[in-house]
Amino acid sequence: MTTDSLALDHVLGTYWSHFVEIGGAGFRVSYTLVMVDPDAPNPSSPTLREYLHWMVTDIPATTDASFVITRRSQIATISGREIVRYESPQPAMGIHRLAFVLYQQHSRQMAFVPLMRENFCTSNFAHQHNLGSPVAAAYFNCQRESGSGGRRFRQAKWDSEGPFKPLHLLNPSRISFIRSTLCRHFRRDPYSARPLEGLKIIDVGCGGGILSESTDNHEIPVVKTMSCKPLARLGAAVTGIDAVEKNIKIARIHAASDPLTASIEYCCTTAEELVRLNKQFDATIALEVIEHVADPSDFCRSLGALTAPGGATVISTINRTLRAYATAIVTAEHILNWLPKGTHEWSKFLTPEELVMILRRASFSVEEMAGFFYDPLTGEWSLSDDISVNYIAFGVKQAF
């Protein structure tokens, strides 16, 4: 390992340990390790940001062996000086990021114990102690254990009455919009059995594959049934990508169970990685994804690079309005429990005007936009002119 490498492991059991391996030039080089939660007490309102979970200083580097920072039962064996005792993360709601940051020290015994764990600032701490920039960092996601068990979690995305119910309810209307706009743009017969035959489409952030291959079991008139059929069943050559490997495994299992969807290519990767591989598609789809990414502009530029000239993109997201806050966060997460608490951050929602501008900079021209209306009496969604909460946009990439 090199001096800027950091390997972390966590072992659960009667005896638990935290292993930190740091390679380097020898005993004379020391490091400070900081573990913080930037999402405390919850991602939607991180008023305790950053919460300090652990700090160890004077960790010696080694040439050929790893020093181990451990705590077993009540007996601590620490290579280094633990100045803030480890506190196990116990997030009450939402998905929290737990970050490990490693600094190289200029001398030993140089750090003072912080007064409080709450509202700790890693960058200020580094500045005060002349630590400079981090030499390594790592993080993992953590959320409250639901107690439902692994098997039930794996099936949750495919349970139409489970925690992902909103995605199932929205899917027919979303597919209807995608089907009509793509057929019109690519001059396909919308009433044919497989109107998207021959088109290469990528579903970015596909999750468990609900959009890419979900099943339509509604006994309704044939035209409406056709408009609700998902992308693979409409004849498209579909690629679904997601950065979470578990989601891809779930999607592959369900796709393999049906001959009509077995051809879908699921990959655990990112849009940025496919751009580096010079991949291109006739259409890019990103539904309820952009409000979760760190930089919407960079994300749309990646979509633009993945879309062939003259191709199309479809993006759905949530408007940044008070009504959207009341509906998507207060109602959906806290009252109806449709989504896990902390799923959305209101500040990350995009207004339609902002999305149009971002897409224009990514070489897309937005040609159509629609909202979604939920009827509580029927429990169904339909397309609407009201874009104050959920909305979906269709854009065309410039043909060079």
- Which residues are annotated as part of the binding site for Mg(2+)? 288, 291-292
Pick from 261, 263, 302, 262: which is nearest to 280 by CA?
302
By the 8 A CB rule, do 296 and 361 touch?
no
Specify binding-site residues: 174, 205, 242, 287-288, 291-292
Kindly report the three-state secondary structure assignment for every residue of 63-94.
CCCCCCCEEECCEEECCCEEEECCCCCCCCCC
Q: Which residues of 270-285 are buried (b: 16+ CB within 10 A; e: fewer)?
A: bbeebbeeebbbbbbb
CA 275/CA 65 separation, integer angstroms: 39
CA 136/CA 255 separation, integer angstroms: 39
Amino acid at 23: G
Specify binding-site residues for S-adenosyl-L-methionine: 174, 205, 242, 287
CA 83/CA 332 separation, integer angstroms: 42
Instruction: Retrieve residue 124's tokens.
Output: 């200020």
Task: Give the dihedral of Cα atoms 211, 214, 219, 221; nearest 10 deg.
Answer: 40
